[in-house]
């Protein structure tokens, strides 16, 4: 049996938030830990960003946002959320570029500071964005009917890496 949309969304967001909440720890490690400790966390974070977060964004844009736009009778009503997705994609790409040397064991102060900026930007954006997304999912669940909620819940119920 498929869980309700709020259940799937909440559980999924909780798994994502567990990773998001560890981002500041990684940022602090960049200034205090050795290259081996940093490398392992950077690799795990990169795996989460590309293996979980970006697929979550894609699933939301395919299943959730079109329904919200239909409900709000405005195809541009989700533009701010889509813009935030674009910003997250850019930050994930920046993280990947900046962390390449770190994953190879070379950690410079300049690279660490640049990565910290990206990490804290992702952290702040994702904390607000995911909370807004949960609020929108509650709107769909209340106004979209159980069949629609089940379809969207199934679309969002994708695996979470790590």
Check whether 86 has a pLDDT greater than 60.
Answer: yes
Higher-pLDDT residue of 4 and 133 is: 133
Q: Compute the distance between CA of residue 87 and CA of residue 118 in angstroms, rounded to an integer.
A: 11
Q: Which residues contact 18 (CB under 8 A, 6 or more apart)?
A: none
Domain of 24, in residue numbers: 5-156
Higher per-residue pLDDT: 31 or 107: 31
Distance of CA 65 to the CA centre of its chain: 15
Count how many domains the chain has.
Answer: 1
The HSE-up count of residue 56 (CA atoms within 13 Å, CB side) is 26
High-pLDDT (> 90) share of the chain, %: 42
Answer yes or no: is 162 within a domain: no
Evaluate whether residue 79 is within a structural domain: yes
C-alpha span between 38 and 97 (Å, rounded): 16
Is residue 31 one of the residues assigned to a domain? yes
Query: 25 in a domain, yes or no?
Result: yes
Six-digit token string for 82: 């889509």
For residue 157, the SS3 value is coil
Averaged pLDDT for residues 72-97: 90
d(CA 126, CA 104): 27
Residue 93 lies in a domain: yes
- Are the beta carbons of 122 and 88 closer than 8 angstroms? yes
pTM equals 0.83
In a domain, 15, yes or no: yes
pLDDT tier at 77 (50, 70, 90 boundaries)? confident
Rounded Cα distance, 24 and 18, in Å: 12
């Amino acid at each position: 049996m498929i869980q309700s949309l709020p259940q799937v969304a909440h559980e999924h967001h909780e798994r994502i938030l567990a990773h998001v909440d560890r981002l500041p720890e990684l940022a602090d490690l960049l200034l205090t830990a050795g290259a081996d400790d940093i490398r392992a966390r950077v690799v795990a974070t990169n795996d989460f960003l590309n293996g979980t977060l970006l697929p979550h964004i894609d699933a939301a844009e395919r299943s959730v946002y079109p329904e919200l736009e239909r409900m709000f009778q405005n195809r541009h009503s989700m533009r701010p959320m889509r813009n935030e997705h674009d910003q997250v994609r850019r930050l994930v790409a920046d993280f990947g570029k900046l962390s390449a040397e770190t994953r190879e064991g070379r950690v410079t102060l300049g690279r660490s500071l640049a990565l910290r900026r990206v990490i804290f930007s992702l952290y702040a954006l994702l904390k607000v964005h995911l909370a807004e997304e949960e609020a929108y999912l509650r709107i769909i669940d209340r106004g979209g009917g159980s069949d629609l909620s089940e379809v969207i819940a199934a679309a969002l119920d994708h695996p979470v890496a790590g």
